[in-house]
Structures are given as structure tokens and as C-alpha cells.
Amino acid sequence: MRKKIIAGNWKMNTTATEGKVFIEKLLQKKLSEKVDIVVCVPFTHLCSVGKMLKGSSMKLGAQNMYFDENGAYTGEISPLMLLDLGVEYVILGHSERRSLFQEDDELINRKLQSALAHGLKPILCVGENLEERETGKVQKVLSYQLRKGFDNLSRQEASQVVIAYEPIWAIGTGKTASDEEAEETIFFIRKTMGEMYDSEFSENIRIQYGGSVKPSNIKGLMNMKNIDGALVGGASLNVEDFEQLVNYEL
């Protein structure tokens, strides 16, 4: 059975000091052991938060990385730098990286290959914008992103990836795909992964939903057969909200 994974993406929010206070409060909470918990904090927080999470059940995640180990890439972070700080997961291909920083599928694929080669677990984000949804291009867009993202990955490598379906029109807008819409689209993603690899692979790969997930809608989403967790933005910045998300079954 696929274990649910709840990942908080803090984006460019909180200072390192504020982040430490947040983690201190979160570590005092009784959190479900039925889900994998990941906190994807800003780069400036990784060292301090990584130390705080040692010995806990929570995993440390980064929000991005470059594909080379070192070099003249001013402002970038390498996989070796992340590993040195205890990072286990890394978000790649987030819609904000695609739209604001013009990251294309080829670059994301290179990052994905590098992350896997270094033992990091990528959370690969895919999703359509509002125009693509309204013009019936959702499956075409997702199929393209998946096939380009997983290009040249072996079955074993690909099995380490978590996919996050994030409809761009629902991120930070307060809008959320209905439980049925999210389930239908994630079923299509799972079906596509089966075509790319095999049916056993598609049954085992974990696929999250991301897009204005909050305590009021988490249970309905998690009750869907094909949804294996959530990539959470705004609600992950509030200790009580994130606690409720992680403990949605309790």
C-alpha cells in the first residue's frame, strides 16, 4: 500500500529565526506516523532546520537545486550542498519555477536525473494553467510534462520520484479542484506512468495533489483512491493548520 506523503512548501517565506520557532512548535505536536512528513524550507533555513529535525520522523526538503555539483553558477545550489545539510527531498519543476523563471522540461529533466544520481528524492511538479484546462488540453499538457520529465530514467530511478499534480489555476488562489476533478486527473497521471513503465510501477508510484490544500478540504482529497498526499503551500506556514493536515485521519 502506498504511504501518504504530506509536504509543506514554505516558498520564500519566514526568516531563518522564524523558521526555527516554527519547527520548535511543530516538534512539540503529536504527529501521525501514518504519513511521511516533509518540510521544504528556504535555502537559508536548511542548516538550522536540518539539525532540529534529526531524530524526528519529519524529513527535510529543499525547494529547488541545480544539476551540476559545482561551478560558475552564481546564486545556485548543488545537490552536494543539499546532501551535506541532511536534505532528503527536493521539489523540482514547481509551476512558479516554470512560469517565473522560465524553467523548461529539458532543464527539469536534467535536475531530476542529477537529484536521483545523488540519492535525493525528487518531488516532480506537473500541472496545467486555466486556459489549458478550459480548452481541454489537460491530458496533453500532463502527458508531455511527464514524458519529458522522466526521459532517460530507468524504472528503478523513476520509482524514487514523487509526482505532485498542481493545477496552476488553484495555487495560492483559494480555488481548489474538486475531489473528483483531482482524482480523475491523478488517475490519468497514474495511467500514463503505467504506459511509460508498467502497471505494477503505476500502482506503486506516489502522486500528491497540490493547490490550496487546507484543513477544510484535506480529508475529501485523501479519501480518493489515487491521491497519495498533498504538496501544501500557504497552510504549511501555520503550525496548527499543518498539524491538522498531517493528522487528517485522527
Residues catalogued as catalytic: 94, 166
Beta bridge mates, 6: 37, 230
Q: Are 79 and 118 in contact (CB under 8 A)?
A: yes
Give the dihedral sign, CA 21/24/29/30.
Answer: positive
Cα separation, 110 vs 73, whole angstroms: 15
Would you list the DSSP string of 215-238?
TTTHHHHHTSTT--EEEESGGGGS
Cα separation, 84 vs 235, whole angstroms: 28
